[in-house]
Amino acid sequence: MSASNVYYELYRRSSIGVALIDSLDELIKDSKIQPQLAMKILSTFDRSISEALTDKVKSTRLSFKGHLDTYRFCDDVWTFIILDVHFKMEGNEAIVADKIKIVANNVKKPGEP
Amino acid sequence: MSNNIVGNAYRDIIEDVINSSRIDCEDSGVDETTLRELQLLWQERLTISGVVTFPSDQSAAEPESGTREAKVSCETSTSLRYAGSITLTSAAPQIVPRSTMAAMRSAPHIQELASGERVPAEIAGYSVNGVIKDVRLDGMTGLDSSNSTGSLIFGDVSCITQADGGSQELEVSREVVDRLLEGHILRQKFGRSEHATQQPVPQLVPGKREKANLRASDSSDNDSNNDSDDNEDSDAINSDLDDPEDEIHSQGDENEGSDAMMLCLYDRVTRVKNIWKCDFRDGAVHVNGIDYLFETAKGEFEW
């Protein structure tokens, strides 16, 4: 299987991913679907959201600053915990958060040059 | 970057996943009804969480107010539609969480009633959506549950379905939905005691209601419960030698769902002395209860 067919499971922790997992759990609990089918649907979700973020979300840029509280690099994954974060969105929209956790996978997937 | 872009992207992702999973479902012997139910549950959870407003929620308000809700004033119907979106949460922040809790609490019970009456799952799902709208109606406009206006709204099943997106191919029996929703309105009006007069409920339902109560309980309650449980566990496991900072971080990890989070890919991470500069791309950000998506992001942190 080529590396291009493997998509990160990172986005399962997003709001839309958690909502999907909860919905699948409910159907499994009600014995309407099998867990194996749920795993296939989640894999389909991984592909769909990765492609959507790559192809459909265009020209949306943001910048942010803050105080780096924790950093970690393990298994090619960076994890940061930033405090007192100030986001600057497009259109001069500013958002402030006390704390944010950033989990970032390598843009180059394993096996890619 | 606006939340509307996120709504469109999420809708496209949901449709793509559902359409792509159709073949897998057929191979596994799962019918179209269950797939639709998954889609409804998924969209419902996103709408209830308020992280995004689906375009169908907004667009449903304008065409539907003039036609299918002719029996109700336009203003009332518009407020009902927007009750399902995040726009009115800022107007009545105290009401929506309670409504959401009541809706989620009653939703499994409504589904159970529907299943007990041998009603297909999609009807139960639509009944759930009608219940959610019902709760928000009572909370937002203060209408008496015995008000005919309220009953008219929820007797119109097509209104319920339209708010949740197109699903014209499913036929819904108005009488069944009316019966289910009347029971819900009575429970709302007279409290839990009214439940004794309802048809007997299987023993599984109390357990499900308890579980729905756990799910529907306020996030702060969950946090406090988790914290109290964690304190008991931490007393049993941790020693006095533990770094107090580690305890703060571990509690933060458990409250991960409610905290701000960014999930993305990194292009480059550099550091000069204590200044870190990062280039991210293709990310999803959840901050202050709202979701954002970005193509590229630049971060600069001081350690």
Angle between helices B174-190 and B95-116 (to 10 degrees): 130
Any alpha helices (H) in A5-98, and if so which ranges? 15-29, 35-55
Task: Out of A33, A52, A64, name the one closest to residue B34 (CB).
Answer: A33
**Report field, pTM of the whole predicted structure over 0.80:** no
Flag if A19 and B13 touch (Cβ within 8 Å): no
Statement: residue B217 has pLDDT above 80: no
Q: What is the rounded CA–CA span in Å between residue B91 and residue B77?
A: 17
Q: Do residues B183 and B83 lie in contact, with contact meaning Cβ atoms separated by under 8 Å?
A: no
Closest-CA distance, A111 to chain B, in angstroms, reads 16
Q: Do residues B163 and B84 lie in contact, with contact meaning Cβ atoms separated by under 8 Å?
A: yes
Statement: residue B239 has pLDDT above 50: yes
Closest-CA distance, A35 to chain B, in angstroms, reads 11
Q: Which residue has the higher pLDDT, B221 or A64?
A: A64
Which residue in B24, B57, B56, B19 sits closest to B39, CA to CA?
B19
* pLDDT bracket for residue B109 (50, 70, 90): low
* pLDDT bracket for residue A6 (50, 70, 90): confident
Q: Which residue has the higher pLDDT, B122 or A87?
A: A87
When scoring B104, B251, B275, B295 by the number of chain A Cβ atoms within 10 A, the one with the most, hence best to mutate, is B295
Q: Do residues A67 and B301 lie in contact, with contact meaning Cβ atoms separated by under 8 Å?
A: yes
Beta strands of B138-289 (E only): which ranges?
Answer: 260-272, 275-287
Average pLDDT over residues A82-96: 88
What was the pLDDT predicted at B95? 44
Average pLDDT over residues B238-248: 59
Range with the largest mean pLDDT of A88-92, B20-24, B196-200, B250-254: B20-24
- What residues of chain A lie within 8 A of the CB of B10, using their CB? 16
Flag if B12 and A20 touch (Cβ within 8 Å): no
Q: Which residue has the higher pLDDT, B14 or B224?
A: B14
Angle between helices B121-141 and B95-116 (to 10 degrees): 150
Range with the largest mean pLDDT of A28-37, A103-112, B189-198, B253-262: A28-37
B24 touching A, CB under 8 A? Answer: yes
- What residues of chain A lie within 8 A of the CB of B284, using their CB? 11, 14-16, 49, 53
Instruction: Please give the helix or strand (H or E) that residue B131 lies within, else none.
Output: helix B121-141
Flag if A19 and B9 touch (Cβ within 8 Å): no
Which residue in B68, B74, B136 sits closest to B101, CA to CA?
B136
Statement: residue B65 has pLDDT above 50: no
Flag if A81 and B249 touch (Cβ within 8 Å): yes
What was the pLDDT predicted at B52? 73
ipTM: 0.94
Among A68-72, B207-211, B248-252, the minimum mean pLDDT is found in B207-211
Q: What is the rounded CA–CA span in Å between residue B198 and residue B58?
A: 36
For A14, phi then psi, to 5°, come to: -75, 175
pLDDT in tens, B20-48: 999 999 999 999 999 999 999 999 999 98
* pLDDT bracket for residue A4 (50, 70, 90): low
* Closest A-chain CA to B16: A48
Q: Do residues B98 and B114 lie in contact, with contact meaning Cβ atoms separated by under 8 Å?
A: no
Average pLDDT over residues B185-199: 56
Task: Out of A14, A33, A90, name the one closest to residue B286 (CB).
Answer: A14
Q: Do residues B274 and B302 lie in contact, with contact meaning Cβ atoms separated by under 8 Å?
A: yes
Helix, coil or strand: residue A5:
helix
Closest-CA distance, B33 to chain A, in angstroms, reads 10
- What residues of chain B lie within 8 A of the CB of A49, using their CB? 13, 284
Task: Out of B265, B280, B294, name the one closest to residue A60 (CB).
Answer: B294
Q: What is the rounded CA–CA span in Å between residue B103 and residue B100?
A: 5
The amino acid that residue A41 corresponds to is: I
- For CA atoms B215, B218, B220, B225, give the dihedral sign: negative
When scoring B34, B266, B290 by the number of chain A Cβ atoms within 10 A, the one with the most, hence best to mutate, is B266
Among A24-28, A44-48, B242-246, the minimum mean pLDDT is found in B242-246
Average pLDDT over residues B12-19: 94
* pLDDT bracket for residue A90 (50, 70, 90): confident
Q: Which residue has the higher pLDDT, B105 or B143?
A: B105
* Closest B-chain CA to A46: B17
Flag if B41 and A26 touch (Cβ within 8 Å): yes
pLDDT in tens, B140-189: 444 444 444 444 444 444 444 444 545 455 556 676 777 777 777 776 66
What was the pLDDT predicted at B216? 46
Average pLDDT over residues A57-71: 91
What was the pLDDT predicted at B5? 82
What was the pLDDT predicted at B53? 72
Angle between helices B95-116 and B204-216 (to 10 degrees): 160
Statement: residue A74 has pLDDT above 80: yes
- For CA atoms B80, B84, B85, B90, give the dihedral sign: positive
For B101, phi then psi, to 5°, come to: -65, -45
